[in-house]
Amino acid sequence: MVEGRLPFRYLGVPIKTTRLSATDCKPTIDKVVDRIRGLGARKLSYAGRLILVKAVLKTLLQYRATMFILPTGVISRIESICRNFLWDGGADYIRSPLVSWDKACKPWDEGWLGLKNDIQWNKAAVGKLVWLLASKPDHMWVRWVNHTYIKGKDWLTYEPPTSTSWYWRRICRVKNLFKEAYNQNMWTTQHNKEYTIAKGYDFIRDKGLKVNWHNLVWNKWSIPKHSFISWVYQHKNMNTMEKLHNLSISEEYTCRICRNETETIEHLFFDCPYNRKVVVIEGDWLGLPLPYQDLMEWRLRITGSKMKQGIINATINACLYHIWNQRNRSRIELSLLRLT
């Protein structure tokens, strides 16, 4: 046995007696950036990068967020890397996002991308310590904390002295976020079941209104990249020529396919003579009443078996994707013709 010294690393995380600094967390940031470089993500669709953000990049941070109180600046830096990776495939800010990151970090059923806000996730992880102190008096760490800090006082009304450690004051600050979720030292929001980080996160996050169309866009019948474009269409955030022209990014504003009318979302998907042929053929096959500019309202009225509804929604998602894909191809081809 060799006598060691603090700080040291265990299972990839730093172990020290003081709070973590940005320098201590730099290896985590470097690891996230290295993962991005090894993924070759610029060739992936938005949906492919979204899956990688959830399954790879976010887990690197959340693994550490469940064990430590991380510096807010470090969490914000990693979230900005995830944002840049999602919208452009790299770690640096180059392309403006289609939606703000705060909106992207909201659930599917509220109309967004189902990502987690890691600052709030870190607080929810600390909330597990709050729950231990409230409900597990025989836990060894709880007994030590009671003997050293609380000393017989009521935990939910306890306020730490300014002379106590930074970690302990942060735990007490997080406790104040969860006070309303306790009843006689028991977690009560989920039928008196035990606290979990997911429940704590859902309790403190900013909740929005639920939408009735998320299952139409995100479902097992649709290819993920088709669903993603359908989701962008639903929020009317597509970078049409009209939008690029209004932002002074492009001098052109006409449709890249018919090259006659202003390229708005309504024109591109319903009024462009070339794309309208596709829409009419699809509408005849699916039995859509034309015209159907209010596409989402029509989709909400679909009846029949789940398989029938799934196939119709998958077909509509695919149609939206391929129209948008053809528009992008036409735009590139037109630019190459002008260069030659």
Query: pLDDT tens digits, residue range 130-139?
Result: 888 888 888 8
Q: Confidence band (pLDDT; 50, 70, 90) for 208?
A: confident
Exposed, middle or buried, 242 (CB in 10 Å: 0-12/13-18/19+)? Answer: buried
**Residue-wise pLDDT tens digits, 292-321:** 556 666 677 777 788 888 888 888 899 889
- How far apart are alpha carbons 153 and 140 in whole angstroms? 18
* pLDDT for the residue 184: 67
When pLDDT is averaged across residues 89-100 and rounded to a whole number, the result is 82
| pLDDT value at residue 43 | 77
Q: What is the pLDDT of residue 2?
A: 83
Per-domain residue ranges of the chain: 8-116, 124-204, 214-339
191 to 112, 128, 194, 195, 313: CA distances (angstroms): 28, 17, 9, 11, 36
Task: Name the pLDDT band for 42 (thresholds 50, 70, 90).
Answer: low
Q: One-letter amino acid identity for 33?
A: V
Residues contacting 321, CB < 8 A, separation 6+: 223, 225, 226, 229, 230
Instruction: Quote the pTM value.
Output: 0.83
Q: Is the pLDDT of residue 215 over 70?
A: yes
Give the pLDDT score at 41: 65
Average pLDDT over residues 37-42: 69
- Which one is predicted more confidently, 304 or 153? 153
